[in-house]
Chain A
Amino acid sequence: MLEGLMIGLSTAFSVTNLLMVIGGCLIGTFVGMLPGLGPMSIIAIMIPVAITIGDPSAALILLAGVYYGAIFGGSTSSILINAPGVAGTVASSFDGYPMARAGKAGKALTIAAVSSFVGGTIGVMLLMIFAPMLSSVALLFHSAEYFALMVVGLSAIAAFAGTGNVAKAVMMTLLGLIMATVGEGALYNLPRFTMGMMDLQSGFGFITLAMALFALPEAMYLVLNPARSETGSEGGKQGEVKDLRITRAEARSMAPVLGRQSVQGFFIGVLPGAGATIASFLGYAVERNIASQEEQAEFGKGSVKGLAAPETANNAACTGSFVPLLTLGIPGSGTTAILLGALIALNVSPGPRLMVDEPQIFWAVIISMYIGNLVLLVLNLPLIPYIAKILSVPRSFLIPFILFFTMMGAYIGQNNATELLILVGFGLIATILRFADYPLAPLLIGFILGAMMEDNFSRAMQLYDGFGFILERPMTLGLLVFAALLVLVPSYRARRARLRADGVADD
Chain B
Amino acid sequence: MMKTTLTRRACAAAAAAAMSIATPALAESHGDGPMMDSIHFLIPGGAGGGWDGTARGTGEALTESGLVGTASYENMSGGGGGVAIRYMIDNSESQHGTIMVNSTPIVIRSLTGVFPQSFRDLTLIAGTIGDYAAFVVNTDSDIESMDDLLEAFRADPNGTAIGGGSVPGGMDHLVAAMVMESAGADPLDVNYVPYDAGGAAMAGLLSGEIQALSTGFSEAVDLANADEVRILGVTSPERVAAYEDAPTMMEQGLDVEFVNWRGFFGAPTLSDAEAQAYRDTLAAMYETEAWEEVRARNGWVNIHNSGDDFRAFLEEQEEAIGTLMRTLGFL
* A52 CA to B24 CA, complexed, in Å: 13
In this complex, how many residues of chain B approach chain A with their Cβ under 8 Å: the count is 67
Instruction: Check A202 against B206 for contact (C-beta < 8 Å).
Output: no
Given contacts A44-B14, A334-B48, contact A273 B77 (CB under 8 A): no
Using Cβ atoms and an 8 Å threshold, which residues of chain A touch B196? 186-187, 455
- Does B11 reach chain A (CB closer than 8 Å)? yes
CA distance A206 to B1 in the complex (A): 4
Q: Given that A201-B79, A273-B200, A329-B223 are contacting pairs, would A463 and B209 also be in contact in the complex, using a CB cutoff of 8 Å?
A: yes
Contacting residues, chain A, for B195 (C-beta < 8 A): 186, 455, 459
Shortest CB-to-CB span from A286 to chain B, Å, is: 23
Judge if B86 is at the interface, Cβ distance under 8 Å.
yes
Residue A331 interfacial (CB < 8 Å): yes
Q: Is B78 touching A202 in the complex (CB atoms < 8 A)? A: yes
A232 at the interface (CB under 8 A from B): no
Query: Closest residue to A342 on the B side, CB-wise?
Result: B15
B79, B83, B194, B222: the one contacting A329 at CB < 8 Å is B222
Please, how many angstroms separate the alpha-carbon atoms of A272 and B223 in the complex?
16
Across the interface, which residues of B come within 8 angstroms of A345, CB to CB? 12, 15-16, 297-298
Cα of A332 to Cα of B196 in the assembled complex, Å: 12
Complexed CA–CA distance, A141 and B75 (Å): 35
Q: How far is the CA of A353 from the CA of B225 in the complex (A)?
A: 10
Closest to A197 in B: B79
Residue pair B6, A416 in contact (C-beta under 8 Å): no
> How far, in whole Å, are A51 and B21 apart by their CA atoms in the complex?
12
In the complex, are the beta carbons of B19 and A184 less than 8 A apart? no
CA distance A147 to B208 in the complex (A): 17
Q: Which residues of A contact B194 (CB under 8 A)?
A: 186-187, 459
Whether A462 contacts B78 in the complex (CB less than 8 A), given A51-B15, A338-B15, comes out as no
What separation, in Å, do the CA atoms of A273 and B20 have in the docked complex? 32
Q: Given the complex, which residues of A lie within 8 Å of B199, measured CB to CB? A: 272, 330-332, 337, 340
List, in ascending order, chain B residues with CB within 8 A of A350's CB. 226
Q: How many A-B residue pairs have CB under 8 A?
A: 209
Q: Within residues 140 to 177 of chain A, which ones have a CB less than 8 A from any CB in chain B?
A: 140-143
Interface residues on A, range: 35 or more
Known: A48-B22, A49-B22. A416 touches B222 (CB 8 A): no
Q: A45-B21, A413-B2 are in contact. Are A189 and B170 (CB under 8 A)?
A: yes
B157 at the interface (CB under 8 A from A): no
| Given known A338-B15, A416-B77, contact A201–B82 (CB-CB < 8 A) | yes
Which of A138, A201, A350, A353 has the most CB atoms of chain B within a 10 A radius of its CB? A201
Q: A204–B3 Cα gap in the complex (Å)?
A: 10
Kindly state whether residue A351 has any CB partner on chain B within 8 Å: yes
CA distance A52 to B19 in the complex (A): 8
Task: State in angstroms the CA–CA spacing of A45 and B194 once bound together.
Answer: 30
Q: Are A139 and B46 in contact (CB under 8 A)?
A: no
Does B76 reach chain A (CB closer than 8 Å)?
A: yes
| Cα-based distance from A341 to B200 in the complex (angstroms) | 15
Q: In the complex, how many angstroms separate the beta carbon of A197 from the nearest chain B beta carbon? A: 9
Q: Is the CB of A414 within 8 A of B48?
A: no
Beyond the given A47-B14, A51-B15, A413-B46, please list 6 additional residue pairs across the A-B interface where CB-CB is below 8 A. Answer: A48-B20, A142-B207, A198-B86, A337-B197, A341-B15, A414-B46
Q: What are 20 sample pairs from A and B whose C-beta atoms fall under 8 A apart?
A: A48-B22, A52-B23, A139-B206, A142-B208, A189-B168, A207-B2, A272-B203, A330-B203, A331-B11, A334-B48, A341-B10, A341-B11, A349-B222, A349-B226, A351-B225, A351-B227, A352-B226, A352-B228, A414-B77, A463-B161
